[in-house]
């Protein structure tokens, strides 16, 4: 199954997030824990990382630093140990998220959905779909005995794909409803679907769930 459309141009040259000048500035803070007060000077980016780590672990920054200090007592360089702990913590979280944010996860969601559903690229190409969607196509767009593959299947959305992404950004990822038309040869099928952003980083995908 495929669909024709022009893919919007994207900038693939940028490999890293923009670096803000304030992230490099050193900030001095006094962290107290169990009667022990420590004066620590770290870049703002590491203080932010420590805060996020503490929130995810439901503890305080002081508790984290106390644990790091206990593990690295022999090194004597607490600030270096904190930086390493932040980097390792972010790396571990990235690995976990990468496993969740995958095509495998998308396929699992589609398989679990009882209604017709499919994943859509920014160029309106149907990347993957579930059995109910396949059954919908066979039922609504019956093909001849020599055309079971339906390579000429076309998809048209009432809303532009770029507009759908924009609405998801504005509305806090609330599903966007759009009409659609599936066509092959002279046959057409019109329906409605709810669209959400797929849980992947790249490529940018949409997940569409047919209803009604």
Could you report the average pLDDT of every consecutive run of 10 residues in the chain (212 residues)?
44 64 85 86 93 92 90 78 92 76 86 95 91 94 61 88 93 91 91 92 88 86
**pLDDT tens, residue by residue, 88-112:** 988 888 777 776 668 888 999 999 9
Please tell me the predicted confidence (pLDDT) of residue 202.
73
Please give the Cα distance from 85 to 91 (Å, whole number). 10
C-alpha dihedral (85, 90, 95, 101), degrees to nearest 10: 160
Please tell me the predicted confidence (pLDDT) of residue 171.
86
Angle formed at CA 18 by CA 14 and CA 24, multiple of 5 degrees: 140
Whether the full predicted model's pTM is greater than 0.95, yes or no, is no
Please tell me the predicted confidence (pLDDT) of residue 2.
45
Q: Which residue has the tokens 């790091």?
A: 68
Which of 35, 1, 5 has the alpha carbon at shortest distance from 159?
A: 5
Please tell me the predicted confidence (pLDDT) of residue 3.
46
């Amino acid at each position: 199954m495929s669909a024709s459309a022009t893919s919007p141009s994207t900038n693939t040259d940028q490999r890293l997030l923009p670096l803000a000048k304030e992230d490099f500035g050193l900030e001095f803070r006094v962290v107290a824990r169990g009667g022990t007060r420590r004066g620590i000077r770290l870049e703002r980016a590491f203080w932010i990382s420590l805060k996020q780590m503490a929130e995810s672990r439901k503890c305080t920054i002081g508790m984290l630093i106390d644990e790091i200090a206990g593990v690295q007592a022999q090194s004597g360089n607490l600030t270096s140990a904190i930086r390493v702990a932040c980097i390792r913590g972010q790396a571990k979280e990235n690995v976990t998220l990468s496993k969740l944010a995958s095509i495998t996860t998308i396929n699992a969601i589609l398989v679990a959905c009882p209604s017709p559903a499919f994943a859509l690229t920014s160029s309106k190409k149907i990347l993957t779909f579930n059995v109910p969607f396949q059954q919908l196509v066979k039922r609504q767009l019956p093909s001849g005995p020599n055309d079971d593959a339906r390579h000429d299947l076309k998809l048209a959305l009432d809303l532009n794909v770029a507009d759908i992404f924009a609405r998801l950004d504005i509305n806090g990822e609330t599903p966007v409803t759009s009409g659609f038309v599936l066509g092959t040869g002279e046959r057409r099928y019109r329906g409605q679907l709810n669209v959400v952003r797929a849980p992947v980083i790249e490529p940018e995908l949409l997940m569409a769930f047919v209803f009604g």
